[in-house]
């Protein structure tokens, strides 16, 4: 997950960056004003905005959040030293996921980021404890929990998925593997049928990478990787090839 940090005090900006990286997230950019932040937003397409309210320039953090939300609504975490009621009321108008007062600790930031990621889900889980137990499926990607961080895996990078009992093993084009805490059948229901298809009770492939179907040995080739093909799913795969 990519985080855009907007903070005009170098000491705090460095601390935000350090904490974000310690938690395992990618920093899309660090800006001290709204102009540079908007430019970074359009170029880097961050997933989360970590934003101070009092920043350099005529546009403050709340106005920046409003402009960004007009383009692409996204989770916002305000981190600020401003505690007055008027500022808090203005901040509420952009519906931030969290409002953290300086000074803050690592746990505060970690929990705020995790809640923000849960907001990204089309079916957000209401409780943090539940969030920590479930990986998130979005319209174009998965967020997979790896140790204490969430990693973004876009659909085009998925080669195939393999059933491992109550888990699903996700294989990527680059050769990485992720263990997802969802059975393959349940995960299949969350993924777009236009992109993925079953070849076997234990395998779900990304049709983008399907190269060939071997009806004699009952195998499919997915970007040079062989995956089992069962009779029960053979006709479905052949039908999908006709659609292509």
135 DSSP assignment: -
Q: How far apart are CA 116 and CA 47, in angstroms?
A: 9
Domains and CATH numbers, the chain: 2-120 (3.40.50.2300), 138-243 (2.40.50.1020)
pLDDT above 70 (res 240): yes
Per-residue pLDDT tens digits for 112-154:
887 777 666 544 433 333 333 445 677 788 888 776 667 889 9
- What pLDDT is stored for residue 243 in this prediction? 55
Q: In the chain, at which residue ranges do the beta strands (DSSP E only) sit?
A: 2-6, 26-31, 48-51, 76-80, 98-101, 136-137, 141-146, 149-154, 158-164, 167-172, 177-180, 196-200, 203-206, 210-214, 219-222, 225-228
pLDDT above 90 (res 206): yes
Per-residue pLDDT tens digits for 35-72:
899 989 988 889 899 999 989 888 899 999 998 988 88
């Amino acid at each position: 997950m990519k985080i855009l940090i907007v903070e005009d005090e170098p000491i705090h900006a460095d601390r935000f960056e350090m904490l974000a990286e310690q938690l395992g997230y990618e920093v899309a950019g660090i800006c001290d004003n709204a102009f540079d932040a908007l430019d970074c937003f359009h170029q880097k397409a961050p997933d989360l905005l970590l934003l101070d309210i009092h920043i350099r320039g005529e546009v403050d953090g709340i106005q920046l959040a409003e402009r960004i939300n007009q383009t692409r609504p996204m989770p916002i975490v305000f981190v600020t030293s401003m505690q007055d009621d008027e500022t808090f009321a203005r901040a509420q108008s952009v519906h931030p996921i969290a409002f953290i007062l300086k000074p803050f600790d690592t746990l505060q930031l970690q929990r705020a980021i995790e809640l923000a990621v849960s907001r990204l889900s089309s079916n957000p889980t209401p409780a943090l404890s539940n969030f920590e137990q479930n990986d998130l499926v979005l319209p174009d990607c998965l967020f997979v929990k790896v140790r204490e961080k969430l990693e973004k895996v876009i659909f085009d990078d998925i080669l195939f998925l393999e059933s491992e009992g109550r888990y699903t093993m996700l294989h990527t084009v680059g050769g990485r593997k992720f263990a997802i805490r969802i059975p393959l059948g349940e995960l299949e229901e969350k993924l777009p049928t236009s992109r993925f298809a079953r070849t076997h009770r234990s395998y779900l492939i990304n049709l983008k990478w399907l190269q060939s179907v071997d009806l004699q040995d009952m195998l499919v080739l997915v970007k040079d990787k062989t995956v089992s093909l069962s009779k029960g799913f053979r006709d479905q795969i052949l039908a999908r090839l006709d659609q292509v």
